[in-house]
Amino acid sequence: MITFEHLTKRYGSFTALDDVTFTARPGVVTGFLGPNGAGKSTAMRVVTGLTPATSGTATILGRPYAQLSNPAAQVGTLLDASAQHAGRTGREILTLGAIAVGVPRSRVDELLTLVGLDEGESRRRLRDYSLGMRQRLGIAHALLGDPEVLILDEPANGLDPQGIAWMRELLGASRVRAGPCCCPRTCCTRCS
């Protein structure tokens, strides 16, 4: 479960998140909707402890991210598929992640198969990956610890139609529902 309570984030005079309160319940895929700049990525950065909130709280499984005993084993995250070392291979990136999370290295092969990256692709340098391949690798990385919670920022970005169908299947699209809009503006009916 993910809970935001009166979450606000300001950058100087700009308010990225304005008193956001909601709960994402277990077993349900919840999507943030809103225009570019609405604060969706900021909210995900706050809940994962990468950006401090100005006020309010964000918890995962009842605790702030920093207080989780092994965060990567409890929360899988994909916030930016390009935020990996471009000179490493996909396999190296997943292997290092497996070591850090404390899962068997055999998990790397399982996940490469799951996300559809074959042996040759897994041995290519990240700089030579397409955006869709980076997304698939990022999803594999998020799943390394078999987490209870997944936080994915634009996971279908760069995926072809077959990849989008695969993503929906992976996430159990029959349970997808729209979540709250965190837009600080009144530009759409979800925001007002």
63 has a pLDDT exceeding 90: yes
Q: Tell me the C-alpha distance between 35 and 33, whole Å.
A: 7
**Cβ distance 77 to 149 under 8 Å?**
no
Q: What percentage of the chain exceeds 90 in pLDDT?
A: 47
Q: Quote the pLDDT of residue 159.
A: 81
Could you report the per-residue pLDDT of 99-120, keeping only the tens digit for each?
998 999 999 999 999 888 999 9
Q: Quote the pLDDT of residue 178.
A: 39
Residue predicted with more confidence, 81 or 49: 49
Q: Quote the pLDDT of residue 4.
A: 93
Q: Which residues pair with 7 in a beta bridge?
A: 20
Q: Which whole number is the average pLDDT over 26-32?
A: 82
Sign of CA dihedral 117, 122, 100, 159: negative
User: Hey, where are the domains in the chain?
Assistant: 2-178
Q: Tell me the C-alpha distance between 29 and 100, whole Å.
A: 27
Q: Quote the pLDDT of residue 186.
A: 37
Phi/psi at 85 (nearest 5 deg)? Answer: -70, 115
Q: Tell me the C-alpha distance between 135 and 181, whole Å.
A: 24
Q: What is the mean pLDDT of the chain?
A: 84
Q: Which residues contact 9 (CB under 8 A, 6 or more apart)?
A: 15, 16, 17, 39, 42, 43, 46, 51, 53, 54
Rg (CA), the chain: 17
Q: Quote the pLDDT of residue 46.
A: 94
pTM, 2 dp: 0.80
Q: In terms of C-beta density within 10 A (0-12 exposed, 13-18 middle, 19 or more buried), how is residue 118 classed?
A: exposed
188 has a pLDDT exceeding 80: no
Q: Quote the pLDDT of residue 35.
A: 85
Is CATH 3.40.50.300 what the domain over 2-178 is classified as, yes or no? yes
Cα torsion through 168, 165, 96, 123, rounded to 10: 180
